[in-house]
């Protein structure tokens, strides 16, 4: 089997409302969809959501580098997943978002060829229930309290609150939210690198009374070597996010005892090949993990869900991004249940397709 065509689409997905973190605000998810076709008629789907301030990518770079990588992948066996991941790294450094889209599409093909769902192809099995949280973006205290109440009223058992634009304000935000929603709902926080070291320790000490599950990436990712100081001074568990891209980062974080948990995102790891390597490192050290994402649709989050069923150490799930979008062009794939449990179809590969009507209006390039 050989790859004989790769299609790259610009999937512009309008959000229901602006999504704001300490790293910026978004009204639209400008994502890439990738369809890889083979000479035996099997095709696979992948997705990436470029984030200029985290991975250094935009929709324009994804198209440019996507064409470059696709020309190298044409003629290759799509089921040679590790080889193809290494090949993409040999062609160009970084560009993890577009590599993720291509890698995921090849995994979809590989599992389809075996006739099994992706989680089984990856060696997993469904032994647990997956419930997503829902994110409250950073804004005024009043607006965040209003949004937090909506999250609770919608029936979510867990909410993630974005912080990071000022320690004093952040403490007041969580205090007001906790007073409004009570203690029946779990709260986790994400500073998105927004605090300095001393500021982070002070904020986390003051946030401790509000029963916080953990804090994601409190300080700048380049200062990961100071994360241990934050961890040692914090009564709240610390989760590495932006400073964790691949298994090499995982090794550094484990050896330095810099964090309690890992947050894996396929867009940071270049896809499933390296995500599985992160999981191997975490399993050796007994590190619990979350799987999350950027602003991807149900396409990539279906891959996330398959990956989550490959290890018992993935215990936290941040799978809410598809709920932010006005339209859903994915047919099949993971499905949200009324209580926000997520279930997968028992069909080969990812178990999904993309609506051809949506694709017809999406800008695209075809590489053959």
Q: Tokens for 216?
A: 């994601």
Bridge partners, residue 232, by sequence: none
The answer, yes or no, to whether residue 148 has pLDDT greater than 70, is: yes
pLDDT value at residue 18? 76
Residue 24 φ then ψ, to 5°: 135, 180
Dihedral-angle region of residue 104 (phi above 0 means left; psi in -120 to 50 means alpha; beta otherwise): alpha
Is residue 17 very low, low, confident or very high in pLDDT (cuts 50, 70, 90)?
confident
Instruction: For the chain, give the mean pLDDT.
Output: 96
For residues 299 and 166, the model is more confident at 299
Q: Catalytic annotation on 89?
A: no
Q: Which residue has the higher pLDDT, 58 or 24?
A: 58
Domain boundaries of the chain, sorted by first residue: 3-115+353-367, 120-350
Three-state SS for 41? coil
Nearest-5° Cα angle at 151, 13 to 22: 60
Model pLDDT, residue 198: 95
Per-residue pLDDT of 113-125, as tens digits, reads 999 999 999 999 9
Count other Cβ atoms within 10 Å, centred on residue 326: 10
Catalytic residue among 99, 112, 162, 268: 162
Q: Class for domain 3-115+353-367, per CATH?
A: alpha beta
* Annotated catalytic residue, options 216, 242, 246, 277: 216
Identify whether 190 is a catalytic site residue.
Answer: yes
When pLDDT is cut at 50, 70 and 90, the band that residue 57 belongs to is: very high
Out of 108, 190, 217, 242, the active site residue is: 190
pLDDT band at 5; cut points 50, 70, 90? very high
**Does 26 have pLDDT greater than 80?**
no
Instruction: Provide the token pair at 192.
Output: 């998105």
Distance CA 95, CA 324 (A): 25
For residue 353, the model assigns a pLDDT of: 98
- The band of 7, judged by pLDDT with boundaries at 50, 70 and 90, is very high
For 77-82, the CB contacts below 8 A with 24+ separation are: 77/1, 77/2, 77/3, 78/1, 78/2, 78/3, 78/36, 78/38, 78/44, 78/105, 78/106, 78/109, 78/110, 79/1, 79/106, 79/109, 79/110, 79/113, 81/106, 81/107, 81/110, 81/272, 81/273, 82/273
- Catalytic member of 57, 133, 241, 296: 241
Residue 167 is predicted with a pLDDT of 59
**pLDDT tens digits, 79-106:** 999 999 999 999 999 999 999 999 999 9
CA distance 154 to 146: 13
Pull the structure tokens for residue 342: 């997520």
pLDDT digit string, tens, across residues 249-299:
999 999 999 999 999 999 999 999 999 999 999 999 999 999 999 999 999
Q: Cβ neighbours of residue 284 under 8 Å, at least 6 residues apart?
A: none
Distance, in Å, from the CA atom of 318 to the CA atom of 135, rounded to the nearest integer, reads: 8
136, 161 contact by CB (below 8 A): yes
CATH number for the domain running over 120-350: 3.20.20.120
For residue 205, name the pLDDT band (cuts at 50, 70, 90).
very high
pLDDT at 184: 96
pLDDT (tens digit per residue) in 64-82: 999 999 999 999 999 999 9
Q: Which of 290, 305, 303, 313 is nearest to 340 (CA)?
A: 305
Region 134-149: mean pLDDT is: 95
Q: What band does 165 get if pLDDT is binned at 50, 70 and 90?
A: confident
Question: What is the rounded average pLDDT of the residues 339-357?
Answer: 97
The pTM assigned to this predicted structure is: 0.96
Residue 188 near residue 212 (C-beta atoms within 8 A): yes
228 is catalytic: no
216 is catalytic: yes
pLDDT at 27: 86
**CA 85 to chain centroid:** 19
Cα separation, 314 vs 124, whole angstroms: 12
Give the pLDDT band of residue 21 (cuts 50, 70, 90).
confident
Q: What is the pLDDT of residues 316-333, one digit of tens each?
A: 999 999 999 999 999 999
Q: What is the structure's pLDDT at 22?
A: 66
Q: 302 vs 166, which has greater pLDDT?
A: 302
Catalytic residue, chosen from 99, 120, 265, 268, is 265
């Amino acid at each position: 089997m050989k790859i004989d065509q790769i299609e790259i689409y610009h999937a512009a997905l309008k959000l229901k409302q602006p999504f704001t973190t300490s790293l910026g605000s978004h009204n639209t998810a400008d994502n890439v969809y990738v369809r890889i076709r083979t000479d035996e008629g099997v095709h696979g789907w992948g997705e990436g959501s470029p984030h200029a301030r985290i991975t250094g990518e935009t929709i324009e770079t994804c198209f440019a580098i996507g064409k470059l990588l696709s020309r190298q992948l044409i003629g290759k066996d799509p089921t040679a997943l590790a080889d193809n991941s290494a090949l993409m790294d040999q062609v160009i450094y970084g560009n993890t978002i577009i590599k993720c889209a291509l890698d995921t599409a090849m995994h979809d093909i590989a599992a389809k060829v075996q006739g099994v769902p992706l989680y089984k192809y990856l060696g997993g099995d469904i032994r647990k229930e997956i419930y997503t949280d829902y994110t409250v973006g950073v804004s005024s205290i009043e607006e965040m309290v209003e949004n937090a109440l909506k999250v609770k009223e919608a029936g979510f058992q867990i909410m993630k609150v974005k912080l990071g634009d000022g320690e004093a304000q952040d403490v007041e935000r969580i205090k007001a939210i906790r007073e409004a929603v009570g203690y029946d709902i779990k709260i986790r926080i994400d500073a998105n690198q927004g605090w300095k070291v001393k500021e982070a320790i002070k904020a986390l000490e003051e946030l401790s009374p509000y029963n916080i599950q953990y804090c994601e990436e409190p300080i700048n990712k380049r200062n990961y070597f100071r994360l241990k100081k934050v961890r040692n001074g914090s009564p709240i568990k610390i989760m590495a996010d932006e400073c964790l891209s691949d298994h090499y980062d995982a090794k550094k974080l484990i050896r330095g005892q810099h964090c309690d948990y890992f947050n894996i995102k396929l867009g940071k790891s270049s896809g499933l090949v390296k995500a599985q390597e992160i999981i191997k490192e975490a399993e050796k050290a007994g590190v619990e993990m979350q799987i999350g994402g950027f602003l991807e649709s149900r396409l990539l989050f279906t891959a996330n869900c398959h990956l989550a069923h490959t290890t018992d150490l993935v215990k936290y799930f941040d799978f809410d991004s598809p709920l932010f979008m006005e339209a859903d062009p994915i047919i099949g794939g993971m499905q949200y249940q009324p209580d926000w449990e997520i279930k997968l179809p028992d069909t080969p590969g990812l178990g999904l397709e993309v609506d051809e009507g949506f694709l017809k209006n999406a800008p695209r390039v075809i590489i053959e």
